[in-house]
Amino acid sequence: MKSLSEESVRQDIHELQRQLEQIHPNPYKYVSQNKFTKILYENANGVKNIKSLGLVIMASLSMLNDGHTYLGLSDDVLGTKNYMFKFEFLDNGYYLTRSSETLSSYLGSKLIGLNDFNIATLESKVKKLIPQENEVSTQYYLSSKIVEPSI
């Protein structure tokens, strides 16, 4: 993966913020511009590759609490590896709603963890990367992101 210079990271962050302020009607409704900028630059300090920068930007944009303002990382950044199933939040947890034929006997099962991470740990890790508009949108985004092992 291509290495990024400190200057290129700064330029990317500056351009992101410029475009955000130009296009978004009120990006700093839930977080001040100063706090957003400070956290974005602090978290990007020492970033050396596009994947790490992308994750920093995802986490920073989630502070805006706007489900329409996010960074979707491409397969070139995260890779194409995905788990072979889909979860949905139903009632009191995440349930397997789609899978490959190999895993079809588990359809309807409640998710309790993935790869030695319990569901609470998965939620806390993924919540940092998605907009937190309300509980329903959080559960929707979480159920779609927990199947991306690179995150």
pLDDT, one tens digit per residue, over 6-44 is 999 999 999 999 999 999 999 999 999 999 999 999 999
Strand-pair category, 113-114 with 93-99: unpaired
- Cα dihedral sign, 129-131-135-139: negative
Least confident of 59-63, 110-114, 140-144: 140-144
- Whether residue 139 contacts residue 132, with contact meaning beta carbons closer than 8 Å, is answered with no
- Whether residue 77 contacts residue 51, with contact meaning beta carbons closer than 8 Å, is answered with yes
When pLDDT is cut at 50, 70 and 90, the band that residue 65 belongs to is confident
Residue 113: what pLDDT? 84
Which comes out higher in pLDDT, residue 46 or 144?
Answer: 46
Closest by CA to 67, choosing from 14, 114, 129, is 129
Instruction: Please state whether the predicted TM-score (pTM) of the whole model is above 0.75.
Output: no
Query: What gap in Å lies between CA 7 and CA 19, rounded to an integer?
Result: 18
Residue 4: what pLDDT? 92
